[in-house]
Amino acid sequence: MRPRLRLAWWGLCLALTHLQAGAFVLHLETDCPLSAEGRVLWANWTLSFNKVPFICYDHDSQSYQPCGLGVFFPWNYSTVYLSDQLDRILGRQMEKAQQKCQGQVQSLWGRTGARQALPNVRISPITPQNTPAPIMLACDVWGFYPRDVGITWLWNGAPVKNRTVPEVAFSNGDWTYQAQLTLPVDPQLGGTYTCRVTHGSLKEAITKDWAPGLPLDLRVKVGVSVAVLGVGVLLLVLGTICWGKRVPEGYAPIDGSTYPEGH
């Protein structure tokens, strides 16, 4: 801690002792609010007494001011004086703190706020809720960053007007987000339902289809399996025919009859 700041700190402790504050805890908190582009807006400086703000730095007036508990009697007698002393001792230190914040942010912003993560999309039937429709489709989108994402339901390529309102995207705790958009459907109508997802990390939208009956990916797997089975049966038949026409080993056919006439 710098000598001037240490002096102000001890002065505040003595003032609190003079007010018979008894046992107390002082802690200093600094932070740097950022804009959406990663620019440091200002630097905050807050001195708290037992976790309650006591003296704060006002970036508009560029001075230290009583705040929270510090504006009330009898604390205000000490906080006004101490705020003036902090202005005199620390001077323009907060401008330097803001510049320091910006320097620290530049090395981190590219790996955090400026990064982009592609969304994953999946359609799955869920138990219907508050709807007479027999099936409820859920379009789950997860693993994307930044937070803004667009989710739209389509039916046979046309937007569905009565789609349900999407849930707000919420954090996964690892700098990614997830969201879900549900839609009640009637399988008897047929057609193909499509979930369309747009996001800043995508060059073009992601689409996932769902149709009544087997899912599309399962139908593809079944079709491939049937084709493979058909080829296998065909090879088995051809092999059986060839095996029936083969000549036994060690047997050589002789022209003519080996039996006497009349037998």
In order of 100, 109, 219, the CA distances from 104 in angstroms are: 6, 9, 53
Mean pLDDT, the chain, whole residue set: 78
Q: What is the pLDDT of residue 246?
A: 63
**Residue 144: burial class (beta carbons within 10 Å; 0-12, 13-18, 19+):** buried
> Cα(58)–Cα(118) distance, rounded to whole angstroms?
40
Q: What is the pLDDT of residue 208?
A: 95
CATH of domain 3-109: 3.10.320.10
For the chain, where do the domains classified as CATH 3.10.320.10 start and end? 3-109
Residue with the two structure tokens 């910006």: 102
Q: Residue 117 pairs with which residues in a beta bridge?
A: 145
pLDDT tens-digit profile of 152-165?
Answer: 999 999 998 766 56
Number of C-alpha atoms within 13 angstroms, CB side, residue 212? 12
What architecture (CATH level 2) is domain 120-210?
Sandwich (2.60)
Q: Which of 196-205, 231-240, 252-261 has the highest mean pLDDT?
A: 196-205
